Amino acid sequence: MMVGGKGLGGRVLRLYVPLAVFLVGMLFPFYWMLITSIKPNRELYNARIMPLIVYQPTLKHYVDLLHETNFLTWTYNTMLVAVVTTVISLVLGTMMAYPLARMRFPGTAVVAIGVAATYLVPQPLLFIPMSDIINRLELGNTLKAVMLTYPTLLIPFSAWLLMGYFKSVPRELEESARIDGASRLQAMTRIVLPLCTPGLLSAGIFAFTLAQNEFLYALIFLTKSDVRTVPVGAITELIRGDVFYWGQLMAAALLGSVPVAIIYSFFVEYYVAGLTAGSVKG
Amino acid sequence: MLIIVTMFSVIFTFGDFQLIYALTHGGPANATHVFSTWSFDIGMSAGQLGMGAAVALAILPVLAVLIVGLTFYLRRE
């Protein structure tokens, strides 16, 4: 469909100009991150020069970040935690979402409401009880602490997302599998789950991003530098009192967002494609 | 749809912690605290777990209304 038709002039005015404004607005923070991370300090703290241009780009902040902080350890921790928690919450989320979407048993509505409500309760309400539990289990300052607590956010989230996907798969597909002799479990693993690959992938990507960005639990449970994750490490160690190490902060932010960008670009095709389209005709 | 989005963003703004913590730490002189950062300060930094939990729970009544409302909206969709 042509948006804002009426010749080339109209299209430019109604489509490309607003799009360009939007694009500049969205990309500006990344541009700011990039130029701040490659500016030498004397340009960074000089208020008299034009801030949008770098005169003498340098990689000093990146070198400092890698040498003076545990940035690589933080990255490793973040990736490990994010992968483990994503897998846990996808498996458990699927096991929760499938019966809620497909089966009828007393209490379905209550459990479904419970899932949504659990997802909506914000973390600041929960972090004090959580910290008490983690301390009693003596898991403070280990990655297990966050691996156990992130799924409390991610399972309801992915279950809720997957519920919608499971409902979108036509019941008939599963019923015909059952008629052909598949058990309920086989119908789920061989018919519904493959069709829900885009849903599983998008739930996985979202869960991964949430786990990677999570701040509060990581801040509370991980107080030693060598167990920290990237966001907590960067904010606790690159902001000392009122001094912001802007160059290194921006370098950490930029490097920290690279893995998600790669994963996202890898899966984006899957993510957009609706595999169920055309599976049931008529 | 509009009401769902509004309630969503209200709930998540209520629970926001990291933006305020990263930008101001609630300072200067506690002037920019919200419930979450204040309860973190009391419960974690000062070590008074009970009082910190009380600060956090003080938002629950308002939040509970929103959460219940939104949950029922979502179910109806």
How is residue A214 written in tokens? Answer: 């999570």
How is residue A153 written in tokens? Answer: 């956010």
By residue range, what is the domain housing residue A248?
Answer: 72-272
How is residue A216 written in tokens? Answer: 């509060």
Angle between helices A197-213 and A230-238 (to 10 degrees): 20
Domains of chain B: which residue ranges? 2-76
Chain B interface, Cβ < 8 Å to A? 11-12, 14-15, 17-18, 21-22, 35-36, 39-40, 43-44, 49, 52-53, 56-57, 59-60, 63, 67-68, 70-72, 74-75
- Report d(CA A276, CA B77) in Å as an integer: 21
- Report d(CA A273, CA A9) in Å as an integer: 33
- Report d(CA A194, CA A191) in Å as an integer: 6
Within a domain: A98: yes
Within a domain: A37: no
Within a domain: A80: yes
Within a domain: A17: no
CATH number, domain containing residue A95 = 1.10.3720.10
- The per-residue pLDDT for range A36-74, each reduced to its tens digit, is 888 888 887 877 888 888 888 888 888 888 888 888 899
Within a domain: A82: yes
Within a domain: A282: no
Please indicate whether residue A85 or residue B5 has the higher confidence score (pLDDT): A85
Provide the number of structural domains found in chain A: 1
- What's this model's pTM, rounded to 2 decimal places? 0.84
Question: What is the reported pLDDT for A279?
Answer: 44
> What stretches in chain A show pLDDT beneath 50?
1, 274-282
How is residue A28 written in tokens? Answer: 């500006």
Q: Determine the residue type at B74.
A: L
For residue B11, give the nearest of A122, A131, A216 by CB distance.
A122
Contact B15/A231, CB-based, under 8 Å? no
Contact A124/B63, CB-based, under 8 Å? no
Within a domain: A41: no
- The per-residue pLDDT for range A215-241, each reduced to its tens digit, is 889 888 888 888 888 888 888 888 887
Within a domain: A278: no
List the single residue in A with minimal CA-CA distance to B63: A121
